[in-house]
Amino acid sequence: MNRLVVMKFGGTSVEDAAAILRTAKIVAGRVANGLQPVVVVSAMARVTDLLISAAATAARGDRASAMAITERLRIRHCDTAMQLAMGAQLREDPLAATRADSGLAATHAWMGKEFDGLEEILRGLAVVGELTPRISDMIVSYGERVSSRMMTEAFVRSGINAVYVDARQCIVTDAQYGKAIPQDAAIEQKLKEHVVPHLAEGRVPVLGGFIGSTEQGVTTTLGRGGSDFTAALVGGGIDAAAIEIWTDVNGIMTADPRMVPDALRVKTISFEEAAELAYFGAKVLHPATILPAVKKNIPVFVLNSKNPENSGTRITALAAHCKSPFKSIAVKKRLTIMDVVASRMLMSHGYLREIFEVFDKHKCPVDMVSTSEVSVSISLDSNEKLPAIAADLSKLADVKYEGRKALVCMVGENIRGQNGIAARVFQAVRHVNLRMISQGASEINMSFMVEEDDAEEAVRSLHAEFFSDPDPAIFDVEAIRQPAVR
């Protein structure tokens, strides 16, 4: 029987010593149940953001402030390592205490070297003043590099036969720094070399998420939130029986619980629905996570490391029948709408191709498109390429663009072929000014653009309309009666 399970722990599951010990307990529990985990860990909570700001600060030439950030990171990691080592002493095992002492010195030695290396790069950057995507990846990779090694040591102290594996040896990518594309066949091969032999020996390999390297060994990253993607790549590469995404909420909810406090856990959801939600902004899963799992039909679970007893969300190949039309509502903020208007478009063919070639040239993905006879409106992530894109498009048409927009997307297999749903949606958000409206070709989402400031109100109104009478087979209605366990 296949007992391989990939367990990915996000930043909040490794944010401090207490969280790391909780995580160790969860992994030890899986081992005790006869499973063979491979663990993928994110950087400690907020560390990636701090590394990004250290890089930007150094690139502005402000070396002292960049060093102040790395100093805080160094102290936080060293303190956490110390607390983890002292945890062993507190268990009043004199031998464990001795081991903790010598182990701690070794930990501080390698951590010191890592942070020295990071500071060296930042000092160089402060002199040169040019932050390339390649250097940026090198800098942000430190978060996962350090957290994964520290976690491995914490696991070993907790009695788990864990072994550190540098993810950059396994996750082979192309050289699109910042959002590198994984090379599946090479990854499978590398996992066979660096991970599978440990499993055969009964060890628990621990890898940092988010980071990879090119064939030439240059460090890359998979994009923000990319540790989920690493988990799915590893799961697909070793043919795991399951992939578990451990986070700080009980699973995929009917909306972001930070926006809608009475959001409900969705017990099961299809790959297609989950992919759509992730793509349209539900931060709980990285959009690319699902594909490697789908290819091998591996179930994915989203679970809460602060509440491990909860059964979370199971993502499966097919959707279970659900009485409600939607499973969840996602929001993607910081979008821009670009309006391209040209009378030349009237009756002409090949025109849309010309427009989209511009986006292709700038490697800029678009979210939503709506067209009329003479105009195309396109929504896309607000980014620094917009002026260059607009300049290229203005050779074809009149172009204007406006930021601070948000996309609200409702997802559910059950909207296929159902009448009257759009009317309910528009009635629920009648007080909000809707911009572009679309129902995707997959027929499982309905989305619209609004002003960013209106997005939360729109989501709350839609949630009240569509989730006030939830189907108990799909949604965790028991939690309404026991709010304390959510």
Pairing between β-strand 268-270 and β-strand 313-316 as defined by DSSP bridges: parallel
Nearer to ligand ASP, 153 or 228 (CB): 228
Nearer to Mg ion, 10 or 37 (CB): 10
- Total number of residues binding Mg ion (CB under 5 A)? 2
Give the chain's count of helices (H) and strands (E): 15, 16
The listed partner (ligand ASP, Mg ion, ligand ADP, none) that binds 210, CB under 5 to 8 Å by sort, is ligand ASP
Q: Which region holds residue 178: left if phi is over 0, alpha if psi is between -120 and 50, else beta?
A: left
Nearer to ligand ASP, 42 or 57 (CB): 42
Nearer to ligand ADP, 30 or 265 (CB): 265
Helix (H, G, I), strand (E, B) or coil at 3: coil
Alpha helices in 261-328 (DSSP H): 271-279, 290-295
Q: Which of 298, 276, 311, 210 lies closest to 442 in space, CA to CA?
A: 276
Nearer to ligand ADP, 66 or 255 (CB): 255
**398 touches 300 (CB < 8 A):** no
Taking the complex as a whole, the smallest distance from the CB of residue 437 to ligand ADP amounts, in Å, to 21
Tokens standing for residue 485? 């366990």
Residue of 183, 328, 379, 447 that binds ligand ADP (CB under 6 A)? 328
Taking the complex as a whole, the smallest distance from the CB of residue 285 to ligand ADP amounts, in Å, to 8
Residue list 9-48, contact with Mg ion (CB under 5 A): 10
The listed partner (ligand ASP, ligand ADP, Mg ion, none) that binds 143, CB under 5 to 8 Å by sort, is ligand ASP
Residue list 266-285, contact with ligand ADP (CB under 6 A): 282-284
Q: Integer distance in angstroms from the first to the last C-alpha of the chain?
A: 33
CA distance 92 to 17: 18
Residues 6+ apart with CB under 8 A from 57: 65, 66, 69
Residue where the block lists tokens 């001795």 = 98
**219 touches 137 (CB < 8 A):** yes
Pairing between β-strand 375-381 and β-strand 328-341 as defined by DSSP bridges: antiparallel
Residue of 10, 37, 226, 237 that binds ligand ADP (CB under 6 A)? 10
Q: Which of 349, 405, 409 lies closest to 378 in space, CA to CA?
A: 405
Nearer to Mg ion, 287 or 325 (CB): 287
The listed partner (Mg ion, ligand ASP, ligand ADP, none) that binds 48, CB under 5 to 8 Å by sort, is ligand ASP
What is the DSSP secondary structure assignment for residue 304, as one 8-state letter?
E
Nearer to ligand ASP, 43 or 249 (CB): 43
Tokens standing for residue 217? 């060994």
Nearer to ligand ADP, 30 or 332 (CB): 332
Q: Bridge-partner residues for 451, per DSSP?
A: 405
Residue of 87, 103, 209, 225 that binds Mg ion (CB under 5 A)? 225
Pairing between β-strand 445-451 and β-strand 437-439 as defined by DSSP bridges: antiparallel
Nearer to ligand ADP, 43 or 240 (CB): 43
CA 72 and chain centroid, separation: 25
The listed partner (ligand ASP, Mg ion, ligand ADP, none) that binds 114, CB under 5 to 8 Å by sort, is none
The listed partner (ligand ASP, ligand ADP, Mg ion, none) that binds 377, CB under 5 to 8 Å by sort, is none
- Find the part of the chain contacting ligand ADP (CB under 6 A) among 10-18, 51-59, 157-165, 446-454: 10-18
Residue of 4, 5, 7, 12 that binds ligand ADP (CB under 6 A)? 12
x/- binding map, residues 111-150, to ligand ADP, per CB under 6 A?
Answer: ----------------------------------------
**283 touches 302 (CB < 8 A):** no
Taking the complex as a whole, the smallest distance from the CB of residue 228 to Mg ion amounts, in Å, to 6
Taking the complex as a whole, the smallest distance from the CB of residue 302 to ligand ADP amounts, in Å, to 8
Q: Does 290 bind ligand ADP (CB under 6 A)?
A: no
Helix (H, G, I), strand (E, B) or coil at 356: helix
Residues 6+ apart with CB under 8 A from 126: 58, 59, 61, 62, 63, 66
The listed partner (Mg ion, ligand ASP, ligand ADP, none) that binds 224, CB under 5 to 8 Å by sort, is ligand ASP
> Can you give the binding site for Mg ion, defined by CB under 5 A?
10, 225
Q: Which residue ranges make up the site for ligand ADP (CB under 6 A)? A: 10-12, 42, 225, 247-249, 252-253, 255-258, 282-284, 328
